[in-house]
Structure formats: C-alpha cells, structure tokens
Chain A
C-alpha cells in the first residue's frame, strides 16, 4: 500500500511539472536506474540534485528544478512521518 501511495505521489509530481522524473544510483561514472515517473520527453536529462549516492534526474521543458527538488523532499518527509506513525 505504501509503495502505491509513494508511486502515486511521485507520478502526480511528474505530471504537475510536466516532466519525466527519475532516481538513479551513482556507481563510479555509471548512474543505475532505481525508480521513475512521468512520460518520456526525448530531451536531455538533467541531474537536479544528489543525496549521497542517489541523484534526481529530470527531463522536460521550462521546469523549475528547485521547486521539483523541494516537492521531492516534501514527499520523502511525508513518508518518513507515515512510517513513524
């Protein structure tokens, strides 16, 4: 259930910003896919933020990277809270 809610929150985020959004793990020079949401745009991928070995990638037009990162943080916090309760 938590997984579905988590996925749906990120799906909503990707659709709101009209981007393709995904998380990948950094391994040397390689970025290995972990999870992603939103439709493919066929645009260059931009790494908009890194947390440890994980990076958030975005593909889209005229998006606000800071806003997306802030929203990603909010979803993660929400899930921390759900798991604590």
Chain B
C-alpha cells in the first residue's frame, strides 16, 4: 500500500468521538492550571493528610495532587520522598523489574519536532529489522544478557504496521537459547507503538502482548499542536489520547501511559497523567499498569527549543514522587535515558521498573554486544537511534548495584500467564497483595538469572540477597504466607538450582 493511502486510513474518528463530551476530551487545560493556582499555598497539615491518604493506595484528587506539586518547604519534600518510597514498598515490596527495549524499525511518517526519527531528519539511517534480524537480536537479549521481558518499539509507518508487529512478537516468543544451566527466552513482550484502531489492537491482543504503551508526549493541547505538525497522523491529539480506551475495548487489559517531560511545564504533565488515570478507572475500572516519565534527551536534527521547559534533576525527583503518591498502585518506569547518578537517586522514591544493557539503535544488540562494550555516551550513534542514552551500563552491573542498594532484581513475568491482569491485578495492587507475589517470584527469577548469566562478583552478592529474601518470606509466616507457600518456594528454589526453569507463583 502506498504511504499516503495508508496514512489516510489509520485514524478512525468514530472510535474516540463517543468518549468525548460536547466535542471535548477529558483534559481541560484551563481547569488544570486553575487547580495548580488554587492549591498554591497549602498548610503543612493538609500536605501531611494528603500523604496519609496515599497510603490507602487510592488515586489522589486533582486538587490534592496540585497541592503536592506546589510544596515549597524542603522538609515537606523530604516527607513526600520518604512516603513515596514507603508506598512503593507497600505495593511492590523491594523488587525492581528489569527489561530491555528492542527497536524494530525507525521508519516514521510523523515529523515530531523533538524526535530523531522525524521524517524531516534526512540524516537518520532508516532501518527495519527482518524477522531473522529480530531473532538475532533476541538471541543476544535472552541468551547472552538474560532478559525475560522486552518492550518492542516501532516507528509509525506502513512498513511496520500491525502485521509486522505481530510477526516480530511471534518471532521473539519463539526464540530459545541454551544458557549456562537453563534456557534463555523472552517471556513477556510489551509494545510501544503508535495509536491503533480497535481492529489492529485485537491482532496485537491475539499474539499475546504484555502491556500496550502509548505516551501522550504532552497533555497540553496547544503545545501538542505546536510540536506535532498539522497534516501528520500524530497531530490528532484525541486519536492518541484515547489509545488506551481502544486497547481496553480490544481486550488488552494492561495499558501504560506516559509523557515526555520537557515539552511543557512538568506540573501540568503530572496533572494530565493523573486525569488520564482517573478517566481509565472511570470508564473501565482499570488504571494504568505503568506510567513513564522520560525526560527529553539530545536527539539528531531536532527543531524544538529543548531548554524552555527542561526539567531539572531536582524537579525530576519531585515529579516522580508526586506521581507515586497520586497514582499509588501503578508501576513506575525509570529508563536508561537517565544517567546512573539520577537513577540511583530516583529509584528509592517509588520506581518499580528499569531497563539495562539498553541499546536503542536498530540492530544494535547483535552488532555491538560481544564486540566492544558500550560504556560511554560518545559510543552512541545518533544517526541510528531516537535519542541519547544516559546510562548504558550492562545488566550485570545494574543488578549488582541494585543488590548493594537492597533491591532484588525481578525477571518475573508470571502475572499475565495465569490471569493476574486487568481488574484482578488492580485489586491485588490496591490491597497490597501483589507485592507478596512479587517477592516470591523475584526470588525465583533472580535465582534463574544468577545461575544462567551473572558474573562471579554479582553472583556472590546475589546469593547473600537471596538468603535475606528467603528469611523475610519466612518471617511473614503465618500472617501473610502459609507454611505451604514457604515450602513451595523452597522446593521451587531447589528445583531451579538443579536446572528447572519457569516455576512461578
């Protein structure tokens, strides 16, 4: 199909019109600013009572969120950071899930002013992985690095339409690689792709995707129009805003939202994400499975003033903490866009997922890995990737550091393979039960990874961590875990040590 014909057939207005009221979507720019202004000077007592409400694991209201965003007192911020960390542990325990992105294609019909993939960037080398390439990339990710979870990324273009996506996902799931003691394989493929129709989303659903992720980029209508030129697919704000509605209609019940921080005022974007979560809960009873908050990074040939709304490291920590308190049950993803120092400082205030050994060039894993280790920003080729990575460290290094910080890296993908999805996982998250599953499955998947992929140094630290985690599980008996749970955990752990794989709760 010709590119122009394809583009004309993508957007189906009827699939989002019916969600709008009087032609308006659920983001009211003026109202958001009114709330930010109205809640400018809250008493510390009010802030503390909002913090306490977060511990009930319910969504905060827009007014409450606006009040947090306006806090000036550094001591109160310390209390917010502390609460954010505690709420994360309450919901998800001390585990950090890890994953890697796999960029499959950088052809794109859009022309977003801030993006290296934009169609006007003629210096970008346009590439699309063949299915053999996808297999090779997966063999490195699953067989050498040891990832179990990927997020696949595609530019919006007819060469990477939904059928190509489905083919690549099937290919990834089929790859099995012999590891030291077990098998390396990808058990969960999440998708970051352009907004799609319900019909296309059903194709993704049928192939067994994990989470479907679309970032709104900016929730601010005017800025959205400015950075997404007219005449492009992405210029349609509502088609994008209602992506998750269509995904849920199509039966994909794990959905993820995000904003690209640096396009507009960060406080507004936090409010936008909260309104998005409220809307999804209202319409479907399911909030976002994860939220993402990437900061705008250096990219090739951008046509956007990246300094005007640049988010400082200090404000970045604030927005992470406020998101944790406002949408307390949600998973929060901190990516390798951020440098190691920022990741270290931000992890303790609510992060649940992070990536490592990250490469975002097309075909970058099989080209680079095993040859020269990419350890410097300067090693990156902006002609082949969307933006600059801030923390290119290996998974082994990241896992070891997390262990030293007291976190267990989890490779768990259990939930969506036994129906802990949708309203079920939302209930488990809101009742603090999901974290109990997380703890058990983190131990088991960490055991697998230590035996199959860890360096000697990391393994040594990891063994100590597993001992500590096992002891914690036992200490939660009988209040939370039954004797049967502990015995099953010990049995599974031994069997994994002996080479069995993929045992989970």
Residues in chain A within 8 A of chain B (CB atoms) = 22-25, 27-34, 36, 40-45, 47, 55, 57, 61
Question: B231 at the A/B interface (Cβ < 8 Å)?
Answer: no
B251, A32: Cβ atoms closer than 8 Å: yes
Of B358-366, B452-460, B477-485, the segment with at least 4 beta carbons within 8 Å of chain A is: B477-485
A42 and B505 form a contact (CB under 8 A): yes
Using CB atoms, name the residue of chain B closest to A42: B485
**When chains A and B are docked, how far (Å) is the Cα of A31 from the Cα of B421?**
8
Does B164 lie at the interface of the complex (its beta carbon under 8 Å from any beta carbon of A)?
no
CB-nearest residue of chain B to A41:
B482
Q: Measured between alpha carbons, how far is A40 from B482 in the docked complex, in Å?
A: 11
- Residues of A contacting B421 in the complex (Cβ-Cβ under 8 angstroms): 24, 30-33
Partner of B480 from A24, A29, A42 at Cβ < 8 Å: A42
CB atoms of B208 and A30 under 8 A apart:
yes
The stretch from B128-136, B145-153, B369-377, B432-440 touching chain A is B432-440
Q: Which positions in B face A, CB cutoff 8 Å?
A: 173, 205-210, 251, 253, 416-425, 428, 433, 436-437, 440, 480-482, 484-485, 488, 503-505
A61 to B487: give the CA distance in the assembly, Å.
Answer: 12
In the assembled complex, the Cα of A58 lies from the Cα of B19 at a distance in Å of: 37
A44 near B205 (CB under 8 angstroms)? no
Bound together, the chains give a CA A27 to CA B433 distance in angstroms of 25
Known: A43-B488, A61-B484. A28 touches B253 (CB 8 A): no
- The answer to whether B504 touches A44, judged by C-beta atoms less than 8 angstroms apart, is yes
A27 to B207: give the CA distance in the assembly, Å: 7
- Asked whether, in the complex, the Cβ of B419 is within 8 Å of the Cβ of A31, the reply is yes
- Docked-complex contact B484 and A27, CB < 8 angstroms: no
The verdict on A25 contacting B418 (CB below 8 Å), with A30-B208, A41-B482, A61-B484 known, is no
Given A23, A30, A34, which contacts B209 in the complex, CB threshold below 8 Å? A30
CB neighbours (8 Å) of B424 from chain A are: 22, 33, 36
CB atoms of A43 and B485 under 8 A apart = yes
* B410 to A: closest C-beta gap in Å: 16
Q: A40-B433, A42-B480 are in contact. Are A31 and B416 (CB under 8 A)?
A: yes
Contacts A32-B419, A44-B504, A57-B418 given; does A27 touch B480 at CB 8 Å: no
8 more A-B residue pairs beyond the given contacts A28-B206, A33-B419, A43-B482, with a C-beta to C-beta distance below 8 A: A22-B419, A31-B417, A31-B419, A32-B416, A33-B424, A33-B425, A42-B436, A42-B437
Q: How far is the CA of A29 from the CA of B440 in the complex (A)?
A: 22
Chain A residue numbers with a CB within 8 Å of B416 are: 30-32
> Can you list 16 A-B contacts with CB-CB less than 8 angstroms, sorted by A residue number?
A22-B419, A28-B173, A29-B173, A30-B210, A30-B416, A32-B253, A32-B416, A32-B422, A33-B421, A33-B423, A33-B424, A33-B425, A42-B437, A42-B440, A42-B505, A61-B482
| Residue in A22, A23, A34, A42 whose beta carbon sits within 8 Å of that of B481 in the complex | A42
A15 to chain B, nearest CB (A): 16
Instruction: Let me know if A28 and B207 touch, CB within 8 A.
Output: yes
Measured between beta carbons, the chain B residues less than 8 angstroms from A41 are 482, 485
The answer on a CB contact under 8 Å between A29 and B208 is yes
Closest 3 CB pairs of A and B: A28-B208, A24-B419, A33-B424
List the B side residues contacting A44 at CB < 8 Å: 488, 503-505
With A22-B424, A33-B253 as given contacts, are A45 and B208 in contact (CB-CB < 8 Å)?
no
Min CB gap A1→B, angstroms: 21
Minimum CB distance partner of A61 in chain B: B484
A contact residues around B209 at 8 Å (CB): 28, 30
Contacts of A34 in B (CB 8 A): 419
Give the complex CA separation of A47 and B417 in angstroms: 11
A27 touches B205 (CB 8 A): yes
CB distance from A72 to the nearest CB of B (A): 15
